[in-house]
Structure 1
Amino acid sequence: MRLFYALLFPEHTLRELISIQNAINPYLYKGNATRKENLHLTLAFLGEQDEKLLPLLSSILDALPGKEIEVTFNHLGVFPKKGGDIIYTGIAYHQRLFQVQKTLIALLQEYHVVFKDTRFKAHVTLFRRAQYEEIPSFTPCISRASSIALMQSHRVRGILTYSPIYSKILQ
């Protein structure tokens, strides 16, 4: 199973992210927008994992703090890629967000879960394979994450789908 941990957002935030996509779209020659259902902030990408690890991975999620996390979407950025860039909305530093992510990584390491630990860059991917001349600016917005989830990345009838396997509501 291809797995990752993600911060998920309430419906009104997803609508706001879609409106940012809609504002960027006229500037693109080409690009694949992230479907609303797939918009999230990745806390840790685990890659291919054995299904037998699901109880452990769920218990790690349970061990994370459950306090609400506020995020500020404050800029647009680009990860250059051959064949088209990734356009994302970046998130301002917020101590609770970065502490949760750091705790998650420490727990994964403590329980010897094998994954590629990369430098954390808080963002939400808006477009993949994007080609453009320029990217517009946008007005920053603030939201509160609604939950943290262990997610599966898979294809459903040929469509990339991110499905929550186990989640924890943030309060």
Structure 2
Amino acid sequence: MRAFIGIPFSDDAIDMIDDIKNQIVKHTTKSRTTLKKNYHLTLLFLGEIDLVEQRLIEQELKFIENISAFNLTINHLGSFDRNHEKIVWLGIEESEPLKKLQKRIVEKINNMGYKFPNHFKAHITLSRETVFHESFHLDSIKVEPKNVIIDKVHLYESHRVNNELTYTPIKTYSLRSKVQI
């Protein structure tokens, strides 16, 4: 199975993310957008793993349940260039708790014999293969900062259901003590 470790968002955060994506799509000639149900923040993409690896990874990630919930702020748009197209994303304000969590996950998984690099750019992918109208500039869309509580991490399976890309949580880790914004 194709798997990754990521952070899900609350329904109100998902609505905000989707509203911004919909604003962007109006200014494209081409894009392959992320489905509303698939918004997440990837902490580590694992690729293909088997059931034995899955079970071992699930055990290694139990430490997450001893980490306190924390806040993140979604606050800006950006893009990565890929050939003549873009991957458009929503960015996260710098967060020490997020960086520490992601780094610890990579260390735990690498201690199992994997060799994942630790170059992490926190973002929420809105669209891939995106081509904008010539006169459009991404910075013309303003992002109202949105504080979100991070209180869960999922081990996800990435698969197709009825030919639609779907991210299904296969194991959930709840962080300790939900914080208030």
TM-score bracket, shorter-length normalisation:
over 0.9
Q: Distance in 2 between matches of 1:115 and 1:13?
A: 33
SS at structure 1 position matched to 2:109? helix
Q: Distance in 1 between matches of 2:90 and 2:124?
A: 5
Q: What one-letter code is carried by the residue in structure 2 that aligns with 1:150?
A: L
Unaligned runs of 5+ in 2: none
Q: Distance in 2 between matches of 1:46 and 1:105?
A: 10
Offset, 1:36: 1.2
**8 Å CA contact retained: 2:89, 2:126:** yes
Offset, 1:33: 1.7
Q: Distance in 2 between matches of 1:67 and 1:95?
A: 13
Q: Distance in 2 between matches of 1:23 and 1:98?
A: 29
**8 Å CA contact retained: 2:153, 2:173:** yes
Q: Distance in 2 between matches of 1:6 and 1:16?
A: 19
Q: Distance in 1 between matches of 2:51 and 2:144?
A: 42
Q: How does 1:62-81 map to 2 (within 5 A)?
A: 62-64=62-64, 65-81=66-82
Offset, 1:152: 0.8
Q: Is the aligned partner of 1:56 residue 2:56?
A: yes
Cα displacement string for residues 28-79 of structure 1 (whole angstroms, at most 9, x for unaligned residues): 2221221111100000111111221121111122112432121111210001
Q: Distance in 1 between matches of 2:49 and 2:117?
A: 14
RMSD: 1.5
Number of matched residues?
Answer: 170
Q: Distance in 2 between matches of 1:108 and 1:143?
A: 26
**8 Å CA contact retained: 2:87, 2:129:** yes
Offset, 1:117: 2.2
1:91 paired residue number: 92
Q: Distance in 2 between matches of 1:138 and 1:9?
A: 17
Offset, 1:103: 0.6
Unaligned runs of 5+ in 1: none
Which deviates more from structure 2 when the two are superposed, residues 63-72 or residues 47-56?
A: 63-72
Which deviates more from structure 2 when the two are superposed, residues 39-48 or residues 131-140?
A: 131-140
Q: Distance in 1 between matches of 2:130 and 2:150?
A: 27
**8 Å CA contact retained: 1:10, 1:146:** no
Q: Return structure 1 stretches of 4+ with deviation > 3 angstroms.
A: none
Identity among equivalent positions (%) equals 31
Which deviates more from structure 2 when the two are superposed, residues 64-73 or residues 91-100?
A: 64-73
Q: Is the aligned partner of 1:137 residue 2:138?
A: no
**Structure with greater Cα Rg:** 2
SS at structure 2 position matched to 1:24? helix
The alignment's TM-score, normalised by the length of structure 1, stands at 0.92
Cα displacement string for residues 66-109 of structure 1 (whole angstroms, at most 9, x for unaligned residues): 32121111210001113621100011111111100011011111
The alignment's TM-score, normalised by the length of structure 2, stands at 0.88
**8 Å CA contact retained: 1:66, 1:168:** no
